[in-house]
């Protein structure tokens, strides 16, 4: 049953939230209708193409988000999306995003961080974040393949000296040697791409202790 | 009896250091009155293609002080023309234009402030944040005959930056200079700073 | 290897200027079903050998047509567009210094013509607004293809 358009206020704050090319359209319920049984319908548009396209999984939904990753997976194209609210026989006008350019706007997730230690050193192995993919079976694409100038900001916190310092690297393995034995160090890593500022997502802080000094351990024996 | 004609500001000049540019002029004084000034600029593009267009300075249209921070107006490495006029109520002076066009590539680049510290056997450097234009070339070496000089490009951040893992008993020296890609120029190097690493030198 | 003619400049400021006009300018562009740069037909297929010529041609397209055809009353947007125009003028000068490395093959000329033809299809003010709104595509392309070694050695 066609609804009467415009009687309802539009959804607000309609925008894409994008991390590693996983592109989620999000919005807030119309003013004054929070908590009511409102449903939503989403459409999207590929800039330069001819018409708005439906997203069948986001027709008459009650949630306030819609995953458009598959529809916007060509990150060198630009997109619009829009959403309208329906309540009973009334519906709102469309609320539209600005032009969304995944290549420049997606946020870069943190790398995977693996730490190993010995007496006086910590080895750090980084694995680049992965681009969103439709099916788990698909082969993974690293964000490094999309952004060849992807870098990592590694910060290391010495819990004994209470000092933190950082290093910017492009390679995926680094070793901090000549550390203090029997000391807890905490590591945190951020991916970043030089260029337009993007929100950053630091990795979980991982702490690891260097082994006790073996020489003193032997003497004690 | 008011002022019939307001004199135009004189002695316009630009002082530019580390990509911060300030336009100054001699104040126009009218007893017991507050004179305001308006600053406008024209980049090389406007001079060539739209010469009738002058753009109001972001911070100084108007201003009361006889100076204007034009850093955010000068945003390309081309020559800019700048002009100032005085206003007092309905009275407005003629424009005074800077004699020589200004280009940010003439900015004075000073050696960067730096702080060298150690965390255990790790040589760290903290650099003065001079803004997004600046990269830092840090040169460091072990103080011994024939030592190799290492160079690291560093972008300033909140945290000290790791330079090198050092050996006990040795001494290491560091100096740094800035590089501004927008104008393709370096500063001079900062004075060299050396630090002695605690502990016994390792047997050869 | 073939020494390429690269624009060695900090695009940070230019990108910042674009972000200052993106929302307002793209909102004025109501023809979502057409593009000027048509990157999949023009920019995405450009080979390294043609990068310099396409860059030179597109800088000229913006300097000689787009920035001139656009009329702006908002002082803030006017400042950002002045910043972009003067930065493009600087990039043009940088490229002029290596003329002998900036050969124009048919592929580059074809790509440029598509863009000019797209521009001519629209009324001039709309075409200028649309071209300004697509600057992020061109800047991303420049950033990707003009990343040589840092000139600062």
Per the prediction, chain C carries an average pLDDT of 89
Residue C49 corresponds to which tokens in the numbers above?
Answer: 């050998």
Q: How far, in Å, are A129, A155, A172, A199, C32 from residue A112 at the CA level?
A: 7, 14, 10, 18, 39
pLDDT tens digits, residue range A43-91?
Answer: 999 999 999 999 999 999 999 999 999 999 999 999 999 999 999 889 9
Nearest chain A residue to C37 by CA distance is A48
Render pLDDT for A152-196 as a digit per residue (tens, 0 to 9).
999 999 999 999 999 999 999 999 999 998 999 999 999 999 988
C-chain CB neighbours of B58 within 8 Å are: 79
Mutate to test the interface with B, among C7, C11, C70, C90 (most CBs of B within 10 A): C90
ipTM comes to 0.90
Q: Which residue in A153, A158, A178 is closest to B165 by CB distance? A: A178
- Region class of A162: left (phi > 0), else alpha (psi between -120 and 50), else beta: left
Q: B51-88 pLDDT, tens per residue?
A: 889 999 999 999 999 999 999 999 999 999 999 999 99
Q: Which helix (H) or strand (E) holds A125?
A: strand A122-127
Distance of CA B42 to the CA centre of its chain: 21
Give the model's pLDDT for residue C97.
84
> Is 90 exceeded by the pLDDT of residue A4?
no
Residue B62: asked if its preceding bond is cis (omega within 30°), the reply is yes
Predicted model pTM = 0.91
- Look at C88 and B45 and tell me if their CB atoms are within 8 Å: yes
- What residues of chain B lie within 8 A of the CB of A176, using their CB? 122, 162, 165
DSSP state of A16: E
* Nearest residue of chain A to residue B160 (CA atoms): A165
Name subunits touching B (3+ CB pairs < 8 A).
A, C
Largest CA distance in chain B: 90
Query: Is residue A120 classed as helix, strand or coil in its secondary structure?
Result: coil
The answer on pLDDT for C101 being more than 80 is no
């Amino acid at each position: 049953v066609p609804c009467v358009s415009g009687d309802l206020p539009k959804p607000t704050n309609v925008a894409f939230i994008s991390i590693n090319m996983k592109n989620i359209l999000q919005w807030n319920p119309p003013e004054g209708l929070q908590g009511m049984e409102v449903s939503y319908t989403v459409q999207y548009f590929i800039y330069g193409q001819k018409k708005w396209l439906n997203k069948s999984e986001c027709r008459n939904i009650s949630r306030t988000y819609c995953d458009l990753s598959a529809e916007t997976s060509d990150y060198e194209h630009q997109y619009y999306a829009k959403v309208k609210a329906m309540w009973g026989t009334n519906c709102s006008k469309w609320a539209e995003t600005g032009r969304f350019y995944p290549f420049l706007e997606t946020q870069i997730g943190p790398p995977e961080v693996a730490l190993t230690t010995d007496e006086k050193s910590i080895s750090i192995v980084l694995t680049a974040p992965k681009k969103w993919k439709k099916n788990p079976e698909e082969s993974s694409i690293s964000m490094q393949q999309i952004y060849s100038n992807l870098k990592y900001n590694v910060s290391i916190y010495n819990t004994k000296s209470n000092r933190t310092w950082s290093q910017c690297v492009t390679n995926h393995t680094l070793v901090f040697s000549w550390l203090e034995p029997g000391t807890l160090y905490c590591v945190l890593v951020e991916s970043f791409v030089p260029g337009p500022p993007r929100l950053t997502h630091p990795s979980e802080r991982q702490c690891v202790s260097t082994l006790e000094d073996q020489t003193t351990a032997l003497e004690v024996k | 009896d008011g002022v019939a004609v307001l004199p135009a500001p004189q002695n316009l000049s630009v002082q530019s250091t580390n990509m911060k540019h300030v336009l100054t002029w001699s104040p126009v004084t009218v007893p017991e009155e507050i004179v305001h000034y308006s600053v406008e600029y024209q980049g090389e593009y406007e001079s060539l293609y739209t010469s009738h267009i002058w753009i109001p300075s972001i911070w100084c249209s108007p201003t009361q002080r006889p100076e204007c921070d034009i850093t955010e107006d000068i945003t390309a490495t081309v020559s800019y023309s700048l002009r100032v006029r005085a206003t007092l109520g309905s009275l407005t002076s003629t424009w005074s234009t800077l004699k020589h066009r200004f280009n940010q590539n003439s900015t004075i680049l000073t050696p960067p402030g730096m702080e060298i510290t150690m965390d255990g056997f790790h040589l760290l450097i903290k650099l003065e944040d001079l803004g997004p234009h600046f990269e830092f070339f840090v040169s460091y070496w072990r103080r011994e005959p024939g030592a190799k000089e290492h160079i690291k490009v560093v972008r300033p951040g909140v945290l000290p930056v790791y330079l090198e893992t050092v050996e006990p008993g040795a001494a290491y020296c560091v100096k740094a200079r800035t590089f501004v890609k927008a104008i393709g120029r370096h500063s001079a190097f900062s004075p060299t700073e050396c630090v002695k690493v605690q502990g016994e030198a390792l047997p050869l | 290897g073939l020494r390429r003619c690269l624009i060695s400049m900090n695009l940070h400021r230019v990108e910042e200027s674009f972000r200052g006009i993106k929302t307002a300018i793209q909102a004025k562009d109501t023809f979502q079903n057409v593009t000027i740069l048509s990157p999949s037909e023009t920019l995405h297929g450009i080979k390294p050998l043609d990068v310099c010529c396409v860059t030179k041609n597109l800088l000229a397209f913006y300097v000689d047509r787009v920035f001139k055809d656009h009329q702006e009353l908002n002082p803030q947007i006017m400042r950002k567009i002045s910043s972009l125009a003067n930065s493009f003028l600087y990039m043009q000068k940088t490229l002029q210094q290596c003329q002998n490395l900036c050969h124009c093959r048919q592929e580059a000329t074809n790509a440029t013509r598509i863009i000019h033809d797209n521009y001519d299809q629209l009324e001039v003010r709309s075409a200028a607004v649309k071209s300004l709104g697509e600057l992020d595509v061109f800047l991303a392309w420049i950033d990707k293809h003009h990343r040589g070694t840092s000139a600062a050695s």
